[in-house]
Structure 1
Amino acid sequence: MNKIKIRFAEENDSNEILDIYTPYILNTPITFEYDRPDEEEFKNRIVKTKKLYPYLVYTIDSRIIGYAYASQYKNRKAYDYTAEISIYIKEGYKGKHIGQNLYMSLIEILKLQNLQLLYACITIHPTLKSSDFHKKLGFKEIGYFEKSGFKDGQWYDTAWYSLEIGDFKPNPKEFIPINKINKEKLNKIFRKYEEAINK
């Protein structure tokens, strides 16, 4: 049986993660980035994200098959309870519930950090399944933007989706950086979704 593991990304994972991301850049409108980032630049992106938010990888027999992370929505104190999330799965591994379990791991960790609301920005195209994926997990469309991105000779619409994960009390608990979250609670989440995949 293949050994499945969900864990935090490490700096030395950056090249393997970048190799998963590159086909999305070069062959799809899923990301509006045009060019493959420099390896050092991409590593710095991971390091910067990990200062506050989770950056997760899904591995099979120690090989990274997918990754998901949260990032700051806007640099204002009032937005501390909101984050944008993203996920990318290696070509050939979609439709195996990898994305769902990896995303749910990320979402549960963000709840521990006292996040209240999550956003995902999605490119709209008949060949892309991102909208269906997010709707299945409870996201709802909250905004639609026509012709907001141009890539490979075509204009693309985008939509913003949101997922409420908090209780929106008048005095919310402070946002907790990822390195302050109890390690056993994190490991419990990882084990939960690793076991879900193995069933």
Structure 2
Amino acid sequence: MSDSAAASLDLTVRQAEDDDIPAIQAIYAHHVLHGVASFELEPPDQAEMQRRHAGTLASGLPFLVAEDRPGSGAILGFAYAASYRARPAYRWTLEDSVYVLPGAGGKGIGSALLSELITLCAGLGYRQMVAVIGDSANESSIRLHARHGFSDAGVLKAVGFKHGRWLDSVFMQLALGPGDETPPD
């Protein structure tokens, strides 16, 4: 994100609320139907997105939205953290997800969301954040994560099949707080 793009933003990143679910669902549905960032094939309905939102909050993790012009209610994107894996040894590691309104990419929205997500998760004591990026051709997501300090952690070749082609999963990783320098509290 360029400094001029960041300076021109008039948005608020805040915790998602129940009233945001229709906009979140619409953004995600577009990415499921037309993109490869998600390996889902059918977009979840609003009830399922509400369940996912509630589950994230019940886990004590952030689920954020970027709202255009504070108070306008226009949602430009969303981001959330989830447990990386269910087994107990993974409990200090999270996976991030960031989705931006179609046509609003490249304006710093994803960067604003990811920056706040990283800050909140580090503040909660988590030690690692993993990005599992749908497809090695998803350059915008790879660049977004690299700008925020994520490093390459590997590529799983051709592990998904969507829109008539095989897709890779790109793994990137960011240490949060002290990372692996000390044991967790």
Given the two structures, how large is their TM-score scaled by the length of structure 2? Answer: 0.87
* Residue of structure 2 in register with 1:23 after alignment: 30
* Residue of structure 2 in register with 1:191 after alignment: none
* Residue of structure 2 in register with 1:58 after alignment: 66
Q: Count residues with an aligned counterpart.
A: 173
Q: Which runs of 4+ in 1 moved over 6 A?
A: none
Contact map agreement 2:160 2:168 (CA 8 A) in 1: yes
Deviation, 1:24, is 0.5
Deviation, 1:46, is 0.7
Runs of 5+ in structure 1 lacking a partner? 174-199
Deviation, 1:124, is 2.5
Q: Give the counterpart letter for 2:169 in structure 1.
A: T
Local SS of the residue matching 2:95:
strand
Distance 1:31 1:21 in 2: 9
1:5-16 counterparts in 2 under 5 A?
Answer: 5-16=12-23
RMSD: 1.7
Distance 2:137 2:92 in 1: 33
Give the 3 Å change call, closer, same or farther, for CA 129–171 of structure 1 in structure 2. closer
Give the 3 Å change call, closer, same or farther, for CA 3–146 of structure 1 in structure 2. closer
Given the two structures, how large is their TM-score scaled by the length of structure 1? Answer: 0.81
Pairing 1:172–2:179 present: no
Q: Highest relative contact order (Cα 8 Å, sep 6+), 1 or 2?
A: 1
Q: Deviations over 1:66-111 (max 9, x none)?
A: 1000001112222221000010000121111111111101100001
Runs of 5+ in structure 2 lacking a partner? 1-7
Q: Give the counterpart letter for 1:41 in structure 2.
A: E
Q: Percent identity?
A: 32
